[in-house]
Amino acid sequence: MKTISILHTGGTIASKVSKKGGVEAQYTAKEILDLYPEIKELANIRSRLVANILSENMNFSHYNLIAKEIKKEIAEGVDGIIITHGTDTLHYTSAALSFILENLPISVILVGAQRSSDRGSTDASLNLVSAVNFINKADFAEVAVCMHATMEDTHCSILPASKTKKLHTSRRDAFKSINAKPYAFVYHDKGIDLLRKDFRKVNKKAKLNLKLFNPKIKVGILKTHPNMSAEEISFYKNFHGLILEGTGMGHAPIEKIDKFTSENKKILNEIKKLAKKIPVVMASQCIFGRINMNVYAPGRKLQEIGVLGNLADMTAETAFIKLVWLLSNYKKPDIKDLMSENLRGEISDRTSAEFLEDDFNK
């Protein structure tokens, strides 16, 4: 059997109702393993606690901590690693690890649960078992997410680390891949259905390199909206970067059309001033699709004043993580080109109309 290390970081999967009321991350690494003894029959399991934290409390230092613990396990010769994690920011952590872990030799699979492990309806068991089965059977050396594919306990999706988003607050199938197909479905009783082959293969001779986050980097995410104020832009003047979550294909209220829209001219000026100082990157409030600031005149104006991100199809969360990681590891002049370059599968070479059509017709 393969040797798989499970690194526990807390979250709902490690939670139960506390004496104070409400759910808290309380289970130890041993207790979680004892709750799901079936995984011990599938692999040689190493299990230890890295943190016991609800994921909304995580920050860049935690990403570095997890990455360093992954490196330790790889040095010990394990065949795969599972990270148990809270679901609220699981997609931030998966994207972060995909950037940090350069030249990864084995699988790193993040697993969460929408229902705590003390509940009969918990999804933790199938998620954990599916992650173990995937590592056992797939020649896969990437970071990915393993969560329920449907509300039923039939199968899980293996989702790309930098193209995944939580789309529901409580459903067990809350996590979906965005602008990309899952890598695979893992069935409880039918094995693996591999949907893609464009991933790194296991190579235990590969030398892992960590490119960590600088916890002092400050990057904001600002959602554009009707009746916006220029002060909202200028607030970020002392930050290191900004993700501007625009409407549609990457738009912001920057045109003075009539007497009611004089503030828009001020917004344009503030974005222009900010983009001269720090990277300002456009993402879309839409879930699916691609930024295209070439189509409408205001989009072209945003590009002219230095707003980055045109033609990318990253989620706002991944754009945020990527920008912080770039600022942590590269010089400022390099960031413009690297932000638009596909480094970890975060930007699709082309948008599949078939994928989008299938997705919207579900």
Tens digit of each residue's pLDDT (9 = 90 or more) over 185-223: 999 877 999 999 999 999 999 999 999 999 999 999 999
- Provide the pLDDT for residue 136: 96
Q: Which of these is catalytic: 28, 40, 71, 88?
A: 88
- Express each pLDDT in 18-66 by its tens digit: 666 676 666 677 777 777 888 899 999 999 999 989 999 999 999 999 9
DSSP one-letter code for 201? P
- Provide the pLDDT for residue 360: 44
Q: Does the annotation mark 87 as catalytic? A: yes
Domains 3-210 and 219-339 share a fold: yes
Host H or E run for residue 157: strand 155-160
Q: Which of these is catalytic: 9, 84, 87, 93?
A: 87
pLDDT, the chain, mean: 93
CATH of the domain spanning 219-339, picked from 3.40.50.40, 2.30.40.10, 3.40.640.10, 2.60.40.1930? 3.40.50.40
- What are the structure tokens assigned to 154, written together? 């039939």
Burial 296-323 (b: 16+ CB within 10 A, else e): eebbebbbebbbbbbebbbbbbbbbbbb
User: Residue ranges of the domains in the chain?
Assistant: 3-210, 219-339
Q: Does the annotation mark 166 as catalytic? A: yes
CATH of the domain spanning 3-210, picked from 3.50.50.60, 3.40.50.1170, 2.40.50.140, 3.40.50.300? 3.40.50.1170
- Provide the pLDDT for residue 36: 82
- Express each pLDDT in 153-181 by its tens digit: 999 999 999 999 999 999 999 999 999 99
Q: Does the annotation mark 154 as catalytic? A: no
Q: Does the annotation mark 351 as catalytic? A: no
Output the DSSP codes for 29-92: HHHHHHH-GGGGGTSEEEEEES----GGG--HHHHHHHHHHHHHHHHTT-SEEEEE--STTHHH
How far, in Å, CA of 112 to CA of 110, rounded?
7
Q: Which of these is catalytic: 9, 12, 89, 224?
A: 12
Between the CA of residue 150 and those of 53, 186, 196, what are the distances in Å?
A: 26, 12, 19
Q: Which of these is catalytic: 163, 166, 176, 272?
A: 166
Whole-number percent of the chain with pLDDT over 90: 83
